[in-house]
Amino acid sequence: MIAIGWLIILVILVVAEIATLGLTTIWFAGGALAAFIACVAGAGMPVQIILFFVVSCVLLFFTRPIAKKHFNQDRIKTNAESLIGEQAVVLEEIDNLNAAGQVRIQGQEWTARASDGSVKIPKDTVVTVLAIEGVKLIVKEAE
């Protein structure tokens, strides 16, 4: 009867993963499968539960980053993250010490800070966007 319980958990987790495609429950489905196999092999309930958690955690921590990398290869960047790597023009001198700086990129004006805090970037300089922190673009002079 316990083996049927593990199968039900396995099916629920697989169905949830298919419905969401978020790579969240599939790792626990692997743990449920391991616990089911242990149950069929005659292992006691404590062994099954420990096996469920250990296999789930191992799958989650070691294979999830690899899976996310491979599944997100063709993902199209949208909104603000699409600005990373693009070039912008400095509208107001970028000076991190005085918390000043503004750039125009894709027709929009953004507050900007230099990646190297000791550098001032003059007006009309072309810069490359390295990152986005909150509502500020982190930039460096384009090469």
**6-40 tens-digit pLDDT:** 999 999 999 988 888 777 788 899 999 999 999 99
pLDDT the model gives residue 78: 56
**Domains, the chain, ranges and CATH?**
2-71 (no CATH), 79-141 (2.40.50.140)
What parts of the chain have a pLDDT lower than 50? Answer: none
33 three-class SS: helix
Torsion of CA 49, 52, 54, 56, to 10 degrees: -150
Cβ(49)–Cβ(39) under 8 Å?
no
C-alpha 30/C-alpha 117 separation (Å) is: 47
* β strands within 1-143, DSSP E: 87-95, 100-105, 108-114, 126-133, 136-141
pLDDT the model gives residue 93: 94
